[in-house]
């Protein structure tokens, strides 16, 4: 059976490293990193996520600011708030929780954030910096995947990596990060010819396609490392009528019999996303103050 890569434990370790760096920043320079989260509307999942972000931000010693706006907030109002946060020297990271209500242009909103404070790594400038190998704010989920891969393997140089999924949030930046660590990288997707054969040759498989249990064990090369980014709810009749359970984009049981290492769902990649958000806020604060970015907490 594959070794389980415990994302929950690894995320706790990362948060501890962030907290230590934050304490050192305050002691040596009198600087306290600040993260502002903007939530528009009352999406239940987003509300839970924002609450969790705020709690963990405070736990590592940072300033947490939340702006909760009604669902019918005009675009100009939201853009004005972002401009204020861009100008606030005590705010080092800005995150606008997605999805936004339909009347708001997500691209316009994200690209109005100062790229240096864009801790989600979605601004077009950060996309370009990452793609050209320069210092960027890196999207949190791919960064978390990279951290776990580096921790497990040490060097990734020369490894054959397949990323299943081509989203701007995970698939594309994940491929760029793996290239940066000298992997040979293929981006595969639902229209890839003979997808099973493509995945089968990979030393590293990152599944981020958004389809429940799409990748079965017989697609996996023996000993490969499988990073499952998917979070899907499927019916769980064994738990009772109407009950559901969380699964990833890979079929865990069959893949775990073949892989060398695998992330579970839940408890794998998910916890790393918030941990990396905190790491990004720390990195943004250090860069804003002309200090070196903390080692091991960015790409």
Concerning whether 176 is annotated as a catalytic residue, the answer is no
**Burial of residue 41, with CB atoms counted within 10 A of its CB: 0-12 exposed, 13-18 middle, 19 or more buried:** middle
Residues 6+ apart with CB under 8 A from 99: 43, 46, 106
The closest alpha carbon to 5, from 138, 147, 143, 162, belongs to: 147
| Catalytically annotated residue among 17, 97, 176, 249 | 97
Taking Cα atoms as reference points, which of 202, 112, 104, 187 lies closest to residue 149? 202
Question: Is 97 in the active site?
Answer: yes
Residue 53 annotated to the active site: yes
Question: Quick check: 186 and 220 in contact, CB under 8 A?
Answer: no
Catalytic residue among 17, 53, 114, 172: 53
- Tokens at 281, concatenated: 């806020």
Catalytic residue among 120, 203, 228, 249, which? 120
| Structure token pair of residue 168 | 């701007």
Catalytic positions, please? 53, 97, 120
């Amino acid at each position: 059976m594959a070794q389980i890569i415990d994302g929950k434990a690894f995320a706790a370790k990362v948060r501890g490293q962030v907290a230590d760096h934050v304490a050192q920043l305050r002691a040596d320079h009198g600087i306290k990193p600040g993260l502002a989260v903007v939530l528009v509307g009352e999406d239940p999942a987003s509300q839970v996520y924002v609450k969790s972000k705020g709690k963990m931000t405070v736990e590592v010693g940072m300033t947490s600011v939340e702006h909760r706006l009604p669902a019918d907030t005009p675009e100009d109002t939201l853009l004005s708030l972002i401009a204020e946060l861009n100008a606030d020297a005590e705010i080092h990271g800005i995150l606008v929780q997605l999805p936004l209500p339909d009347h708001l242009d997500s691209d316009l909103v994200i690209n109005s954030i100062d790229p240096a404070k864009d801790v989600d790594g979605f601004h077009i400038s950060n996309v370009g910096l990452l793609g050209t190998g320069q210092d960027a704010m890196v999207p949190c989920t791919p960064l978390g995947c990279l951290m776990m891969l580096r921790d497990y393997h040490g060097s990734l140089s020369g490894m054959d990596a397949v990323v299943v999924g081509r989203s701007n949030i995970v698939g594309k930046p994940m491929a760029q990060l793996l290239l940066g660590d000298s992997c040979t990288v293929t981006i595969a997707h639902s229209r890839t010819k003979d997808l099973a054969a493509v995945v089968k040759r990979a030393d590293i498989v990152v599944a981020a396609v958004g389809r429940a249990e799409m990748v079965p064990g017989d697609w996996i090369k023996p000993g490969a490392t499988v990073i499952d980014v998917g979070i899907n709810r499927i019916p769980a009749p064994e738990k009772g009528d109407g009950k559901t359970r969380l699964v990833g984009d890979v079929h865990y049981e069959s893949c775990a019999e073949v892989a060398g290492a695998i992330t579970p769902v839940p408890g794998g990649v998910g916890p790393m996303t918030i941990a990396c958000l905190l790491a990004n806020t720390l990195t943004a604060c250090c860069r804003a103050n002309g200090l070196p970015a903390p080692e091991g907490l960015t790409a």
